[in-house]
């Protein structure tokens, strides 16, 4: 497509939905991140669950689940997350390349579109760096970062730049994105699939929280909340969707039926209406994956007040294992469902800003105000009662309670990023050592005939950086180097 007009660039930036049937689309909303889905303590897989139906779990997902640093680096051919994020960067670079060359568009419109493209690029480099690179610190700043693409020239250097260069680029793009004058609410509705003042501040709050700069994180979270602070009230605005009744243990004396109760939007796989309509978004991004089962760990489930927390009621689907085929013989285990079966909000939201505000205040020693921010959120997530409001005895207790509330509110989508920063900041009270027990596995199968093995991801492991797909390494003729484990 020859680009000559401003409206063509606008059309590119409106491509929030992934392409269907080969149609051209930037697909900015999709984050197909196996690391985020499988590699945290929110996700669960053990011997009993696997034995119930091995076919429900693909081998690549298993390798991510147990932080494989041997098979995956050698045999990972493609990774949609790496490819899709670099596609978004290419689209952003296309807008920046042509912006001063096209006809039409006012100076203000062009300035805002430029800011929009810089936010796309900053966001993509951030999620890439926090998936494929080691956590940033003084000790790791010269470790391999990412190839930094700033043009649409296919001859641009592909070598991974030092990690500090990647973060410098993110901050440079973020500074440009901050120049937007676009409000989130336009003509009475939030336009969160494009950059806005609230959306940029929301991403900045997340960025600085992950850099352990709590003062800046608080500043930008408050700025985002000042611009937009609408929360969904789970007491009045949530509902169930169409249930599904399944037959269990058919043809046996134990035959019975079970009705699976889904959240209201689960049926709409390709309908973005409910996702776009989720009014807490500051910037529209959705985590997804191919297995259609976010398997919540017992530790995650135990964090919820299962009687009064409406997040448990509407997002934890009892008997979801039956949906995945575990019906004969039956095996009962829940699933976490938000939109359809594999779509979880991952972009900055109003809820996340309250959590960032709470965490920043907790680290500053302001335990009471930190709990006030948490309780503002909890009032919209729980049945009314004495169980809603939390109190903290001091700094450490406040930090712990904030971390637990983040996990209840943002399972899967933010837990990987949280674990990276918990294990690499200067505060030891939030460290989390990940340990799992499972069968050994090879490149081609799970070896169920052998004794269980303990898998551990320690805070100093190089496996905090996920492997880069070998297709891209090969295409670069080895210029892009694989992570060393």
Q: 246-263 burial, b if ≥16 CB within 10 A, otherwise e?
A: bebeeeeeeeeeeebbbb
State mean pLDDT over 209-233. Answer: 98
pLDDT digits (tens, 9 = 90+) for 388-430: 999 999 999 999 999 999 999 999 999 999 999 999 999 999 9
Q: What is the dihedral of CA 78, 410, 459, 44, to 10 degrees?
A: -70
Asked if pLDDT for residue 23 goes beyond 60, the answer is no
pLDDT score of 290: 79
Per-residue pLDDT, 331: 98
pTM for the whole structure: 0.96
Are residues 296 and 318 in contact, defined by beta-carbon separation less than 8 angstroms?
A: no
- Percent of the chain residues past pLDDT 70, beyond the cut: 96
CA angle 247/252/254 to nearest 5° reads 70
In terms of residues, how long is the chain? 485
Give the mean model confidence (pLDDT) for residues 19-23: 41
Q: Averaged over 56-76, what is the pLDDT?
A: 96
Q: Say which residues have a Cβ less than 8 Å from residue 49's Cβ, sequence separation at least 6.
A: 295, 321, 331, 333
- Residue 446 β-bridge partners: 441
pLDDT of residue 168: 98
Task: Please tell me the predicted confidence (pLDDT) of residue 289.
Answer: 87
Side-chain half-sphere of 411: how many Cα atoms within 13 Å?
26
Task: Write out the H or E segment, with its range, that includes residue 31.
Answer: strand 30-31
Q: What percent of the chain has pLDDT over 90?
A: 91
Residue 43 has pLDDT above 80, yes or no: yes
In this predicted structure, what is the pLDDT of residue 229?
A: 98
Q: What is the mean pLDDT of the chain?
A: 95
Segment 275-289 mean pLDDT: 94
β-strand partners of 124: none
pLDDT in the model for residue 156 = 87
CA distance 280 to 198: 11
For residue 452, give every residue at least 6 positions away whose Cβ sits within 8 Å of its Cβ, in sequence order, or none.
47, 437, 438, 439
**H-type alpha helices, 246-349:** 273-276, 298-303, 310-315, 320-323
Average pLDDT over residues 448-474: 96
């Amino acid at each position: 497509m020859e680009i000559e007009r401003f409206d063509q660039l606008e059309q590119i930036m409106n491509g929030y939905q992934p392409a269907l049937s080969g149609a051209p689309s930037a697909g900015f909303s999709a984050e197909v991140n196996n690391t985020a889905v499988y590699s945290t303590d929110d996700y669960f897989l053990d011997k009993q669950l696997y034995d119930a139906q091995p076919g429900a779990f693909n081998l690549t997902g298993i390798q991510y689940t147990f932080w494989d640093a041997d098979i995956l680096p050698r045999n990972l051919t493609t990774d949609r997350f790496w490819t899709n994020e670099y596609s978004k960067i290419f689209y952003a670079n296309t807008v920046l390349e042509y912006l001063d060359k096209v006809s039409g568009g006012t100076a203000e419109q062009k300035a805002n579109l430029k800011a929009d493209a810089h936010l796309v690029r900053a966001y993509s480099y951030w999620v890439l760096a926090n998936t494929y690179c080691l956590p940033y610190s003084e000790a790791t700043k010269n470790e391999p970062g990412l190839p930094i693409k700033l043009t649409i020239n296919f001859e641009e250097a592909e070598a991974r730049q030092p990690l500090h260069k990647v973060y410098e680029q993110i901050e440079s793009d973020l500074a440009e994105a901050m120049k937007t004058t676009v409000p989130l609410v336009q003509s009475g509705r939030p336009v969160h699939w494009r950059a806005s003042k609230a959306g940029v501040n929301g991403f900045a709050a997340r960025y600085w929280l992950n850099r352990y700069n709590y003062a800046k994180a608080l500043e930008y979270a408050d700025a985002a909340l000042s611009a937009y602070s609408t929360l969904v009230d789970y007491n009045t605005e949530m509902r169930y969707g169409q249930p599904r009744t399944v037959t269990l243990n058919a043809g046996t004396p134990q035959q019975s039926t079970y009705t699976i109760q889904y959240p209201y939007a689960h049926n709409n796989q390709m309908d973005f209406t409910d996702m776009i309509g989720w009014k807490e978004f500051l910037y529209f991004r959705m985590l997804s994956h191919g297995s259609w089962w976010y398997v919540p760990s017992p530790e995650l489930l135990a964090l919820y007040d299962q009687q009064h927390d409406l997040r448990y009621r509407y997002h934890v689907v009892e008997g979801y294992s039956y949906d995945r085929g575990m019906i004969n013989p039956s095996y009962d285990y829940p699933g976490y469902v938000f939109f359809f079966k594999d779509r979880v909000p991952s972009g900055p939201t109003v809820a996340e800003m309250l959590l960032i505000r709470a965490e920043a205040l907790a680290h500053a020693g302001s335990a009471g105000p930190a709990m006030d921010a948490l309780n503002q959120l909890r009032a919209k997530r729980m049945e009314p009662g004495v169980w809603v409001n939390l109190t903290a005895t001091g700094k450490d207790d406040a930090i712990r309670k904030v971390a637990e509330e983040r996990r209840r509110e943002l399972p899967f989508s933010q837990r990987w990023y949280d674990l990276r920063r918990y294990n690499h900041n200067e505060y030891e009270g939030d460290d989390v050592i990940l340990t799992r027990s499972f069968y050994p596995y090879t490149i081609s199968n799970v070896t169920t005939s052998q004794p269980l093995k303990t898998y551990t991801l320690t805070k100093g492991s190089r496996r905090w950086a996920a492997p880069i797909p070998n297709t891209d390494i090969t295409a670069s003729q080895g210029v892009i180097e694989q992570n060393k484990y």
